[in-house]
Amino acid sequence: MAAEAGYSTISIGRQTGATMQWGLLGPEQLAGSRRTRTLGLGAAVRKFNQLAVPGVGGVWYAKQIFLATLGVRIADRLRPISANVKAIEIANAVEALACWCSFSSNDWTSDSRLRGRQKLAGKDNLTFARLRQPRFYVTQPMRMATVEALVDLGFVEPGSQRFNGFRCTRSGMDLVDAGTADYRPYNSTVEDYLCARAKDNTSISNTPALREALSPLIVLPADARALVRDKLCEGAGCNPDAARRKNALAWAHSLDVKNPAGWKDKPSALEEDHWDELRLGAGFFTARDAAVEVLNAIEAQMAPLAAPKLASDDAHKPSPVQQRLEALREAAQRFLDDSKDPTGGMATAFCRECIEANPAAIIRSLVKRDDRVLRLVGNDVLPGAAFSLQPQAETSDEEGAGPGADNASRVPVPVGISGRIRNLYLLDLDLQGRLGEFLNPPTTDEAA
């Protein structure tokens, strides 16, 4: 594509002297890195998510909260007898054990509620010493999505802002008791059994009682689910965050998969300012996602190319990058047209960068913000540490992996809305004991 009159130019790939070259070179693949494109927008994302549903973090089913709380409780009990107890390690160990128990009983079938299928495969003779090892389980455990919820819902006392400083509250102990009351591995409580195995470091037996108590695939008992729901709504009469959370939960409960919600009419369960901020957030997320698509398109054009040149006949062909730039401009302008920004100007500054008349200026801004998959050197776009010769999906949200794109797309919420609303819908299903049927709907033959 030729440079337009009056526009500065930018090349993609190695420096070749050509102008406005969209992906001339296929650079060598660099060492892998976690593919996360936050674009420097983490604070704005967190603000809109917090306005959508305060205090739940990335939680989307109740067993996540239960397993993390159980980990904190076991760490509490180990501290008096060991000077080197870290709640993070114990909670990760409990989660890894829960997923291993589930995989070992479902023939290692993937499920969005489970992690570590490849990491845990082939491992046996599990002890807490092995489970606690940093490389034994995944680098992004579900525990990381629960930190905010554990504190805000009152299941732990923070002590500090770090997970290792957490201590179980009375409510946390009640959740552990309610979640395990029906299960007696070796005629012991689940908590006592796991504490004993952590103390003596002997192998943990995958008994049916332990597996059913821990498995993310098995819904929490009714009393435990009722406790989680109560904590989500507790204090709604005097706490604005709790009131907003309760209202959002009521709306999520009313949603119908056969009649997905749109942006036309405000739900009766939500206050006017809450609905307005959800709509603004959706506009921002749409622009953010459009920016990620621009970067994906640039990476896709770079990946297959190996020669430092571009045939002249190809230079003027329309580029997928151009198409995505137009979608980005439109989304960013729609956000700016609202003239409201609850993020203190962060979202506005980003969207203004995305409506520049010069496409090269937009690309430079986006690549500077990325600096992981792609990086800017002068006017050249080069591969970053997470560049891939086979472009792959990456995370743009800061709250970690959720139920997966296929499941999320079936949640009947308005387009672009905060992922916390989608997660709340799934959490509400889980609290009703219906999440499993949503995640694994019957096939056409089964339905017939």
User: Helix, strand or coil for residue 123?
Assistant: coil
pLDDT the model gives residue 83: 80
Place 401 in a pLDDT band, splitting at 50, 70 and 90: low
Which residue did the predictor score with more confidence, 323 or 159? Answer: 323
Q: What's the Cα-to-Cα distance from 134 to each of 131, 141, 143, 205, rounded to whole Å?
A: 8, 11, 14, 22
DSSP-H helix ranges across 42-165: 42-52, 62-78, 87-105, 117-120, 128-131, 147-152
pLDDT recorded at residue 300: 82
Q: Does residue 414 register a pLDDT over 90?
A: yes
Identify the CA nearest to 319 among candidates 341, 299, 339, 301: 301
Please check the confidence at residue 330 and state whether its pLDDT lies above 90.
yes
18/1 Cα distance (integer angstroms): 10
Closest-CA residue to 391 (of 304, 290, 286): 304
pLDDT value at position 29? 34
pLDDT at 13 over 80: no
Distance (Å, whole) CA 393 – CA 396? 9
Contacts of 173 (CB under 8 A, 6+ apart): 73
Range with the lowest mean pLDDT among 60-74, 254-268, 292-306, 385-399?
A: 385-399
> Phi and psi (nearest 5°) for 317?
-70, 145
Residue 317's pLDDT is what? 46
Res. 392 pLDDT band, cuts 50 70 90? low
Average pLDDT over residues 149-162: 89
Whether the Cβ atoms of residue 281 and residue 418 lie closer than 8 Å to each other:
yes
With cut-offs at 50, 70 and 90, classify the pLDDT of residue 31: very low
The C-alpha angle with vertex 298 and arms to 282 and 58, in degrees rounded to 5, equals: 35
